[in-house]
Structure 1
Amino acid sequence: MTSRSRPGIPGHPAFASVSDYNRAYPDAPMPESATARYVLRSYTAAGAGLVDDLNATEIPHTLDFLPGGAPVRSDADRTGTVIATCWGNPPYLVLAENVSLWEAWAAITERWPSTLSSAVDALRPLSDRSSSGTA
């Protein structure tokens, strides 16, 4: 796997390592330490993981909201990136970038996706706004 692309998912860069991802997204870093990654608040589809139906691998993934994990009520909103990971491990697949993490969390938890394609669909309105400069 290259550090910037993955077949079958146009427009969604994938990274083979945390350092590759962090070089590309320095304003929304993933913790280098596995221990620090595991404590981030993420979306896990009720602990089952989201099935990777985009590449037909069926491997379960989680969604990480970077920087800092998914927001909680006491957090101020942050602009960041939503990525799919194999429970904090590679590949690191960018699903949305430069989006409100509050809005991204709301979009995901309103739909409760169980597949990566349904997560992409839930995040698409935010990604479209971000890419058009109206975020």
Structure 2
Amino acid sequence: MVQAGINPSAQQDDSERRGRIMRFLRQKLNSFVKWDIVRFFHDNPHAVETADDIARALGREGDEVPEALKALTASKVLVMKTVSGTAVFSLHDDPAVRVLVHEFVTACDDRDFRAAAIQQVIDGLR
């Protein structure tokens, strides 16, 4: 059923976008630390940081940040380079990745989407 005043193709576009974002969440952002890292790079798109610096910026300790960084690098959300013998991470420069990251972070501004996304991560952790 089409809501009055809403273009059916716009509804389909929104549905497709939400599906794409939820797949991105399930496949690549399946933990809250990965979610935090992606948000960090969305807010700092030109950042090139070490795992320790990212962990400090996120207020996280332990091995969870380096492990998540490696996973996000393997899934091509981030890029890892070695500078002076130290691994540094940055957001992948692929426009499709950057658009997905932006769509995800923007979608999180919607309370209903955010609640569904949080539930998706929790369900995936079980």
Relative to total residues, which structure has the larger strand share, 1 or 2?
Answer: 1
TM-score in terms of structure 1 length: 0.26
RCO higher in structure (CA 8 A, sep ≥6)? 2
Relative to total residues, which structure has the larger helix share, 1 or 2?
Answer: 2
